[in-house]
Amino acid sequence: MFHYGVLGTGRIAHKFIGALGPSREATVLAVASREQARAASVAGELHVPRAYGSYEALLADAEVQAVYIALPHHLHAEWAIRAARAGKHVLCEKPLSLTLAEAEAMFAAARDGGVWLMEAFMYRFHPQTLRVQELLASGAVGRVRLVQLNFGIVLGRPEDTRWRPEMGGGALYDLGCYCVNFARMVLGEAPERVQATARWSASGVDEVFAATLEYPGGALAQFMCDYVTGFHQTANVYGEGGVLALERAFTMQPDAATTIRLWRGAHYAPMEAIEVPPVNHYCLEAEELAALVRAGHAGHGLPEMPLVETLDNMATLEALHRSAREGRAVEVRADAAG
């Protein structure tokens, strides 16, 4: 059994711990909070054997093989690096970091420590996502010319850390990162230029964010993400020979099937509904990282979530944020970090 330790006790930590309950491949051995009482409460509720009142104490546990970082965005880089230096493999919640420079430092620490580091985009391990990749690779919609994505929720809790700019809050880094990730996956390359606009909340984070991304191969991606509209997360892929659509693209329910809708052909065609059975994609990502660690081979990690995509996407997010702040188009690699 592969042993995870979880840094953080929020909602995403609860989801991850609960998902591994039935697993025969991986389990959560320990959970840590900055308050012992909080860690003990969560451990008792979710049947985790060990509870620590500091993150450092969990990293010192020799039986913890990997750390799942479920902390606010601004803490990802610090604790991923500290975990890697402690010899722990790292599964870090999205977004991996807040800048490309932070992401590069995190991967450098993982290389130096001889451990794996992976961004936790759990949807990439879901059979729906894998089937989408298979369909596109087989030419089901022909050459892809446009990808459109939307991800919105009503974030009604004023105390939520996602409303705090100093903690890396905002819709782009919280929700838009999924859209950027999906477009990179579908198009197989990073954008070269982005143009974005945002509506800023009273606290200073982007509560509505919209963008157009231009790719070297001629394709475009457009997305909108927000904290002010009813729950939605759609993805549409438009090709020269058809259209593919997802109604729930990212946070699939573990107990409900999903459906890929496909229209083949450049002209009117009947819709094909491809049903995908339910699975828990948090469990799948944890088990796959555990299998990678056990295999012990060199390379760039799991094909479901390649390292190069993570770095491309961090550069893209950084450029998008700058574009919205400055009101101009930004070249992704040329001046995203300038």
Residues labelled catalytic = 94
DSSP 305-328: S-HHHHHHHHHHHHHHHHHHHHTS
Closest alpha carbon to 66 in 89, 35, 86, 46: 89
Closest alpha carbon to 151 in 126, 121, 130: 121
**Which residues 6+ apart lie within 8 Å of 62 measured at CB?**
none
What angle separates helix 127-137 from helix 177-187, to the nearest 10 degrees?
Answer: 30
Please state, in angstroms and rounded to a whole number, the distance separating the CA atoms of residues 84 and 89.
6
**Which residues 6+ apart lie within 8 Å of 27 measured at CB?**
1, 2, 3, 4, 20
Per-residue CA distances from 12 to 120, 201, 221, 282, 326 (Å): 11, 24, 28, 10, 32
**Contact between residue 249 and residue 234 where contact means Cβ atoms under 8 Å apart:** yes
Q: Nearest 5 degrees, angle CA 303-CA 285-CA 72?
A: 110
Q: In this structure, how many other beta carbons lie within 10 angstroms of the beta carbon of residue 192?
A: 16
Closest alpha carbon to 181 in 243, 125, 143, 110: 125
Residue 284 dihedral angles phi and psi, to the nearest 5°: -60, -45
Q: Nearest 5 degrees, angle CA 84-CA 85-CA 86?
A: 90
